[in-house]
Amino acid sequence: MSTRVLFLFRRNRLEQLQAWRNGDGPVDFLYGLPFINSNGISCEFVEGDDASDNWRRRLCYPVESVVSRAVGIGFSLHIVWIHWNKIRRANILVSTVDTCGLPIAMLKWLGILRAPVIYISQGLAHRLLMRASSIWAVIFRFAYSRFLQSVERVLVLGEGAADSVVYGFGVDPSRVVVLPFGVDDRYWIPT
């Protein structure tokens, strides 16, 4: 039986993957997706579509909009809802941005999702700490700390971000991994 790994992207990754395959773009923002090539592992991804007129997107918009304004970072519940069948069948979930990761982490915290979650955080702690005096920031920081404590790993792209996740959200340091952002040195060359 194959292990099913599912990456969750905010948007435009199909275009980036095609450009990379054609030699016309970098692989930077695919977070290793094209390089997982092993027997027994199947790798897929889902992404949002800002141009979509999907009824689930329209239904989620009011909640997503309020959360986004209060926190300064999105909460794309509609992406999770639209791709729910693939998400629930995955053995491992890799969320590449907080916008997709927060709804996944919430579902994990609620016990709805059982699959291990690798959550890549990109500025969530920093944005919430900037809004520290807001009552909404306090409420969201409390909720998000519970959500993040439920995932198996939180990956951050720098040492400073690790401290923010550990101290700002109370995530056990053994669950926070610093993974410096990889740069495609075959695409980004002087010529």
- Give 5-18 pLDDT, tens digit per residue: 999 999 989 999 99
Contact status, residue 140 vs residue 70, Cβ threshold 8 Å: yes
In this structure, what are the phi and psi dihedrals at residue 172, rounded to the nearest 5 degrees? -55, 130
| C-alpha pair distances (Å), 12 with each of 103, 162, 169 | 19, 27, 30
Cα three-residue angle 149-137-127, rounded to 5 degrees: 80
pLDDT of residue 188: 87
- Which has the higher per-residue pLDDT, 135 or 78? 78
Position with higher pLDDT, 37 vs 173: 173
> Could you give the CA distance from residue 190 to residue 93 in angstroms, rounded to a whole number?
36
User: pTM above 0.85?
Assistant: yes
DSSP state of 53: -
Q: How confident is the model at residue 119 (pLDDT cuts 50, 70, 90)?
A: very high
Q: Which one-letter amino acid corresponds to residue 20?
A: W
pLDDT score of 173 more than 90:
yes
pLDDT digits (tens, 9 = 90+) for 145-155: 999 999 999 99
pLDDT digits (tens, 9 = 90+) for 56-98: 999 999 999 998 888 888 999 999 999 999 999 999 999 999 9
Q: Is the pLDDT of residue 132 over 70?
A: no
Question: Strands (DSSP E) along 10-159, which ranges?
Answer: 41-47, 92-95, 117-121, 153-156
pLDDT in tens, 25-66: 998 888 888 888 778 898 999 999 877 889 999 999 999 999
Q: 124 and 145 in contact (C-beta within 8 Å)? A: no
How many residues are present in the chain? 191
